Chains A and B, each alone.
Chain A
Amino acid sequence: MTHEIDLSQLPPPEPYDKARDEAQRARLLQAWAAPKGWRRISAVNNSHVGKWYLLTSFAFFTFAGLLALLIRAQLAVPENDLVSQSLFNQLFTLHGTAMMFLFAVPIFEAVAILILPEILGARDLPFPRLSAFGYWCFLIGGVFVCGSIFFGVAPDGGWFMYTPLSSDPAYSGLGTDIWLLGLSFIEVSSIAAAVELIVGVLKSRPPGMRLNLMPLYCWYVLVVAGMILFAFPPLIAGDLLLEMERAFGWAFFDPDRGGDPILWQHLFWIFGHPEVYIIFLPSIALIATMLPTFAGRPMVGHSWIVLSAVGVAFLSFGLWVHHMFTTGLPEISLSFFSAASEAVAVPTGIQIFCFIATMLVSKVRPSVPMLYAGGAMAIFVFGGLTGVMVALVPFDWQAHDSYFVVAHLHYTLIGGMLFPLFAGVTYWYPFVTEKRMSDRVGKWAFWLLFGGFNLAFLPMHWTGVMGMPRRVWTYDLSDGWAVLNMVSTVGAFIFATGFAVFAVNVLWPRRNHPRVARNIWGAGTMEWSGEVPGNPWGVRSIPYVHTRYPLWEQPDLLDQMDRGEWLLPDAEEGKREMIVTDILDARPLFVQRVGGPTFLTIGAGVSLGAVFILATFHLWAITLAFGAAFVAFTLWWLWTGTAQVPEAPEKYVGRGLTLPTYAQGNRAVGWWAVFITMTGDMTAFTGLVFSYFFYWTALPSFLPGAAKLPGVLPLLIGTLLMLAAWGMTVAARGVLAQGRRGVSMALLLGAVPVGALGLGAWCWAALAAGLDPTVTSFDAMVWILILWTGLHLSLNWVMHLYVAARIGAGICQPAYRADVINLTLFGHFVAVTVAVTFVLLALFPMLMGV
């Protein structure tokens, strides 16, 4: 019997009982306490991982900033020889790479992991161990990429690594491999975070927080995580192609072998332009969260800001070619992208106007966070306006790759991202530390940052007009760039001083300072509901939220929460628990048990890191060993931490509600995680499909003669076998539901050899046609598609064995069969991959009359 319930009509709470309250608190503490001493690194709770993430991102920011100072010092005077040409090329490459991949994107994840659960009134995100795994990947990958400069082998091809400079080992060395593999590894952590955050926003909202009541910050996180899911995978596909060319000589970007260097630019910028908005939107989200607090009223045009975020997210995928306006593409093609680049200014501007409108109808309390937000706006609007300029093709032909663009991009990123972030750090500092940053020092830092920034970057526009191209390590006095560069350098050092002051303000030990009052800024959003001093469990009980600003609009809410009058006030079984709600109206669905401290995620992260690092040096045997270790750690983690059979099917959570303790199918967060991850995976595959059609469009003779095509018959047989294996997986799911465990296991185990035979038939087809990936781009394309399918099938096989073993062990049962349902979901995506690949390898060449 299921029926709807009106959350506003819940039975009243039981009367307060101090002894019960204390007992509940003690049990919660036991479940949520972080490990002590050195074992603290095994913590997975969002408040720990978020803090590490934040500090690590800022460490990389500081490092990349120091590189920038070296760059500025070198350029301060003409014909300077402070650094060598080779070191300079490494400096600017690493500066851009670290700022983009190790700071700008991870800081979004860091902030979101830190504050999102609290904004949602949740105790954690649904996959805390995944966040921890992502963090360790990020740390290891980042140290690997940055550390390379101390050995003189840092990447030196520019942060967008254009081919053939990056693809031909004659022009670029180990640094490029470090860049490729190190960053691919970090992209893994970004996608992990994206999955975590999407599921977090969709499924971990407090009961009653319907979509129309969801805070703006959550909308932005949802939108940005979705963008990561569609923007990062094409780059992963590109990285794969590039590394295959570098390591094994596959012909993707070499024009002499039917490759095309422009393909890399497409794959890179399909990632690269949305990335700019992936960086910008989360920071605007911080302003959108802070501004109502200081205005003391709800945001004007809440829905217009949602429109703006969703609109920007979509339009940002139609801009990528504006980085390629000078590549000689047909003018009409360029113009479409020019149009989209102009159009994106509209939704971007709407947000700013909503902010101004909110300030117009309220009296904004002056504060340091608002000072930073104001500075952000002044800078960002300027950057946006120059953005409208460079989106015009003729203007871009002058501005492109000149210092004008360097100035433009720093205006948008520092105004759109860094200043809002500094505002956010100042604003949420008391939330994290329960202390307050010094206002006076904060203002000093602001004016140094703001003045230094403009002094450094405003003249830089003119340096560009004077014709200075970017990425030059020296110039001549007669070029006329000397004064401007000197001014920029002075500004850069003032800016750096400002950051140092800011950093001191953040890191200053404040042990003896008094704790701040609860909800120190008088905010309306849930993250300020935590008690002071705080507890590791976050909220005492999970409330029913029926307004946009619960702390303003739901009187007495804090007291009710503190008294444990709302949901999940206890941890009777000593487990970490949260409530999962539905996507639209946040009705409570079930109680989710989340993982506690573990070293398994560190083990998995370290082994995967070792795989990527060792592959850089082509140490294949040890790479393989660490790959096996990674699989082992991951399986161990999954086996002990996910889809556990609960001790009772249901559990009382308070206020008359009893919720299931297990979920499967599209109710379960695990199902959503698989679905979202595989959507990203499909996007990467789409990147490969795009490459195929790109070659076909750009190269007249991409498709070879019939003799050089893989045979249709073996391809067809292989495809049917692989689809049959998929059918067996689906059948295994069905028969397990009927309780036939043995048949289910047999089907799962049987699917492995059937799929392997199918893959074998494909390989045979390619071999028989004599396809050699090092000879032409078509051959390489065929083999990369087969390789991609093969990688997915191998993963699929491991999971088949895993699920079969879980059935054997009685963990995956007819009533609790999330494992096999999620496996089938994965299988569906693999089946689509197989079918599309078949079309590309067999049907499309036939259709084109080859």
Chain B
Amino acid sequence: MRRGTSILFGVLFLTALGGCDGRHNWMAGAGEEAAAIGDLFLILMVGAAVIWSLVVGAAVYAHRRRAHPGLEREARLFVIWGGVVFPVLLIGALLVWGLFLLKGITADEGDLTVRVDGERWWWRVTYETPTGDVVTANEIRLPQGRTALFRLTADDVIHAFWVPALGGKMDMVPGRETTLALTPKKLGNWGGLCAEFCGGAHALMRFDAVVMAPDAFETWLAREAETAQVAADDPGFQVFLDEGCGACHTIRGTQAAGPVGPDLTHLAGREKLGAGLYEMTPEHMARWITDTHAMKPDIDMPPYPHLSGPRLDTLVDFLMRLE
């Protein structure tokens, strides 16, 4: 048993070494909340390893040694001290620590407020600014060092909002509003996920959480607030309207004002397509329009397989200009 265990520890150690990058890593320390929880985890992990070794070691020792019935008194006291007193004190201390940590990482208000609404299977994102709401989707940009308060809702089923590298997760429950505070520390494009199973394409409900320098963030937000610059006779926009895309999607500043699907006003400015799934390239865009369900099964958006050739190119070209 001993040899097997050491091999297993080795495996854990190697994977631990190999696993410190990764855009979804809790231990990346990219947010203050994640870092606080990460510190807790490190201590818990070391403590658990020590206790496990002691308990299993005691069992192995007890199994291997010769019988000493004279030790009955010691064995019984071992139950009291090892099995009762020590755990009560240790666990009590842990509980108090956990409670204070919880108190520390929750907040009622932040430097900015972002409303996120979980949909099957994408994210409707609304920044609350003094000049009004700024609506976008599937990508959340955050200023470094500022606490963002997320107000989370859902329309259809329960989802959960999670950016592991920045902090803990929070459910999005229909009929309720939950909140989560995140304070990013490290610049970068961190992964966001839906953590609560929401049926169908749950696995493909992702987003990018991009942490930016505060100045760059302000610039981006101001640009995001603008309407799209679309010429009335833009041929791509005509295809967009003819195919009925505007019934579901909004492009602010045009007559396309569908409330169902993601807002496309600055679609091409996002890094990913399909709720955090595919690089934003014309090729992916063309495939997304014509063969939607192969890229993301079960979603509400219907595929447009009849679109091809120049008509498709025009539409893709138009969409890729929505920056």
- Name A's B-contacting residues (CB within 8 A): 84-86, 89, 156-158, 162-165, 168, 171-172, 255-256, 259-262, 297, 300-301, 304, 326-328, 331, 334-335, 338-339, 342-343, 345-346, 349-350, 352-364, 370, 374-375, 377-378, 381-382, 385-386, 388-389, 392-398, 400-402, 447, 450-451, 454-455, 458-459, 461-462, 465-475, 478-481, 483-484, 487
Whole-angstrom distance between the Cβ of B167 and the nearest chain A Cβ? 7
Question: Cβ of A395 and Cβ of B98 under 8 Å apart?
Answer: yes
Please, how many angstroms separate the alpha-carbon atoms of A374 and B1 in the complex? 9
Distance (whole angstroms) from the CB of B319 to the closest CB of chain A: 23
Given contacts A328-B171, A381-B52, 12 further A-B contacts (CB under 8 A): A86-B297, A86-B298, A89-B202, A163-B158, A165-B198, A171-B156, A358-B75, A360-B71, A361-B72, A400-B195, A454-B4, A467-B165
Question: Which one of B63, B79, B87, B167 has the highest number of Cβ atoms from chain A below 10 Å of its Cβ?
Answer: B79
Say yes or no: B63 contacts A395, CB within 8 Å.
no
A-B contact pairs, 5 of them (CB 8 A): A346-B91, A360-B58, A465-B25, A470-B197, A483-B15
A374 with B59: CB separation less than 8 A: yes
CB distance from B192 to the nearest CB of A (A): 10
Q: Which of B40-48, B140-148, B235-243, B305-313 contacts A (4 or more CB under 8 A)?
A: B40-48
The answer to whether B168 touches A479, judged by C-beta atoms less than 8 angstroms apart, is no
Size of interface on B: residues with Cβ below 8 Å to A: 98
Q: Which of B172-180, B210-218, B222-230 contacts A (4 or more CB under 8 A)?
A: B172-180
For B173, give its contact among A327, A451, A471, A483 (CB under 8 Å): A327
> B109-128 CB contact bits vs A (8 Å, 1 = yes)?
00000000000100000000
Q: Are A487 and B11 in contact (CB under 8 A)?
A: yes
Within the assembled complex, what's the spacing in Å between the Cα atoms of A71 and B26?
A: 25
9-residue interface stretch from B100-108, B246-254, B259-267, B281-289: B100-108
Q: Which chain A residues border B202 with CB–CB below 8 Å?
A: 89, 471-472
Chain B nearest CB from A44 CB (Å) reads 41
Contacts of A386 in B (CB 8 A): 48
- Please determine whether A165 and B199 come into contact, CB atoms closer than 8 angstroms: yes
Decide if the interface of chain B is mainly helix, strand, loop or mixed: helix
Known contacts A352-B55, A382-B52; A359 and B62 CB within 8 A of each other: yes
Looking at the complex, which one of B40, B56, B72, B179 makes contact with A392 (CB distance below 8 Å)? B40
Question: Is B63 in contact with A349, judged by CB distance below 8 angstroms?
Answer: no
> Is the CB of B78 closer than 8 A to any CB of chain A?
yes
Chain B residue at minimal CB-CB distance from A328? B178
CB-CB under 8 A from A331, the residues of chain B are 102-103, 106
Residues of A within 8 A of B157 (CB): 162, 164-165, 168, 171
The contact of A378 among B19, B56, B106, B297, by CB within 8 Å, is B56
A447–B15 CA distance with the chains assembled, in angstroms: 23
Q: Are B8 and A261 in contact, with the CB atoms below 8 A? A: no
Say yes or no: A326 contacts B197, CB within 8 Å. no
- Which residues of chain A are near B158, meaning CB under 8 Å? 162-165, 261
A350-B83 CB under 8 A given contacts A361-B71, A388-B91, A394-B98: yes
Q: Mark B173-204, 1 if CB is under 8 A from A, else 0.
A: 11111110000000000010111111111111
Point out which of B36, B170, B195, B298 has the most chain A C-beta atoms below 10 A from its C-beta.
B195
Residues from chain B with Cβ under 8 Å of A484 in the complex: 15, 19
| A326 vs chain B, min Cβ distance (A) | 5
On whether A395 and B37 interact (CB within 8 A), knowing A165-B199, A342-B91, A363-B66, the answer reads: yes
Taking CB atoms, residues of chain B closer than 8 Å to A328 are 152, 170-171, 173, 176-179
Do residues A300 and B76 form an inter-chain contact, with CB atoms below 8 A? yes
Given A157-B199, A398-B26, answer yes or no on A345-B87 (Cβ-Cβ < 8 Å).
Answer: yes
The closest CB in chain B to the CB of A162 belongs to: B158
Given contact pairs A85-B298, A335-B102, A386-B48, A455 touches B5 in the complex (Cβ within 8 A): no
B233 interface hit (Cβ, 8 Å)? no
Give the docked Cα–Cα distance between A259 and B1 (Å). 53
Contact yes or no, B91 A345, CB < 8 A: yes
B4 touches A466 (CB 8 A): no
Which single residue of chain B is at the shortest CB-CB distance from A465? B26
Nearest first, the 7 closest Cβ-Cβ pairs linking A and B are A255-B175, A397-B168, A467-B24, A353-B83, A328-B178, A472-B203, A392-B98
Asked whether B132 is an interface residue with its Cβ less than 8 Å from the other chain, the reply is no
Contacting residues, chain A, for B160 (C-beta < 8 A): 326, 401
Given A84, A378, A395, which contacts B44 in the complex, CB threshold below 8 Å? A395
Closest partner residue, chain B, to A471 (CB atom): B197
Q: Given A331-B102, A459-B11, are A359 and B59 neighbors across the interface (CB < 8 Å)?
A: yes
The reply to whether B164 and A398 contact each other, CB–CB distance below 8 Å, is yes
Question: Are the C-beta atoms of B298 and A374 separated by less than 8 Å?
Answer: no
User: Bound complex: CA of A156 vs CA of B15, how far in Å?
Assistant: 32
CB distance from A376 to the nearest CB of B (A): 11
User: Which residues, 20 to 53 on B, are CB-close (under 8 Å) to A?
Assistant: 21-27, 34, 36-37, 40-41, 44, 48, 51-52
B98 contacts A326, C-beta separation under 8 Å: no
B102 contacts A353, C-beta separation under 8 Å: no
| Cα distance A481–B88 in the bound complex, in angstroms | 37
**A574 CA / B41 CA spacing, docked (Å):** 66
- Cα A392 to Cα B40 with chains together (Å): 10
Q: A157-B199, A164-B174 are in contact. Are A395 and B87 (CB under 8 A)?
A: no
What is the bound-complex CA distance between A450 and B3, given in angstroms?
12
Q: Which residues of B contact A473 (CB under 8 A)?
A: 203
Cα A389 to Cα B94 with chains together (Å)? 9
A85 interface neighbour in B41, B62, B203, Cβ under 8 Å: B203
| Contact with B19, one of A84, A392, A465 (Cβ below 8 angstroms) | A465
Q: What's the nearest-Cβ distance from chain A to residue B62, in Å?
A: 4
Roughly how many angstroms separate A233 CA and B165 CA in the complex, as a whole number? 40
Residues in B neighbouring A466, C-beta threshold 8 A? 19, 22, 24-26
What are the residues of chain A within 8 A of B178 when measuring CB–CB? Answer: 327-328
Q: In the complex, what residues of B have CB within 8 A of residue A478's CB?
A: 23
Bound form: Cα–Cα A465–B20 in Å: 10
Q: Please measure, in the bound complex, the distance between the C-alpha atom of A11 and the C-alpha atom of B199, giving whole angstroms.
A: 71
Q: Is B79 a contact of A479 with CB atoms below 8 Å? A: no
A385 contacts B95, C-beta separation under 8 Å? no
CA distance A354 to B63 in the complex (A): 13
Residue pair A401, B195 in contact (C-beta under 8 Å): yes
B16 CB within 8 Å of chain A: yes
A97 to B74 Cα, complex, angstroms: 45
B63 touches A359 (CB 8 A): yes
Q: A353-B82, A361-B67, A394-B102 are in contact. Are A171 and B174 (CB under 8 A)?
A: no
A467 touches B198 (CB 8 A): no
Distance between Cα atoms of A261 and B160 in the complex (Å): 14
- Choose one: A164, A168, A462; the contact of B12 (CB below 8 Å): A462
Cβ–Cβ contact B83 & A338, under 8 A: no
Question: Of B4, B19, B41, B92, which contacts A451 at CB under 8 A?
Answer: B4
Docked Cα-Cα span, A133 to B72, in Å, equals 47
- Say whether B270 faces chain A, with CB atoms less than 8 Å apart: no
Task: Decide yes or no whether B207 CB sits under 8 A from chain A.
Answer: no
Complex CA–CA separation, A326 to B150 (angstroms)? 14
Which chain B residue shows the least CB distance to A472? B203
**Interface: B18 (CB within 8 A):** yes
B99 adjacent to chain A (CB < 8 Å) = yes
With A398-B164, A469-B193: A350-B63 Cβ-Cβ less than 8 Å: no
A447: nearest residue on chain B (CB-CB)? Answer: B4
Contact A84 B297 (CB under 8 A): yes
Are B79 and A300 within 8 A (Cβ)? yes
In contact, A158 and B98 (Cβ under 8 angstroms): no
